[in-house]
Amino acid sequence: MIVEFTAPLKVWSGPAAWYFLPLPQAEAGMIRLAVPRRGFGSVRVRARIGGSRWATSIFPDTKAGTYLLPVKAAIRKAEGLSDGDPVSVELLIDA
């Protein structure tokens, strides 16, 4: 399953500076119905932003009812991304 979306990059306001992209509700719902989850409800994905590709997992955000895609520093730097930037993503869901 391939999921494409655009979302604002958000910094998590915890003790460490983690950056995430929240998946839109409709796409998150499709993933919940179609894909078996692993520990903590995570789902393995291969992500692409611009020319950057990497393997990671999306994690459930139970408050918002969606998933969060973590975006590591190397990707943010390579693609010139900052907090609040709209980011277009392609996810290949590893089912």
CA distance 35 to 1: 9
CA distance 27 to 46: 15
Number of structural domains (the chain) is 1
- Residue range of the domain that includes 79: 2-93
Mind listing the pLDDT tens digit for each residue in 57-81? Answer: 999 998 999 999 999 999 999 999 9
* Position 83 pLDDT exceeds 70: yes
Is the pTM of the predicted complex or chain greater than 0.85? yes
CATH no. for residue 9?
A: 2.40.30.100
Helix, strand or coil, per DSSP, at residue 42? coil
Q: pLDDT value at position 95?
A: 63
Angstrom distance (rounded) from CA 89 to CA 23:
10
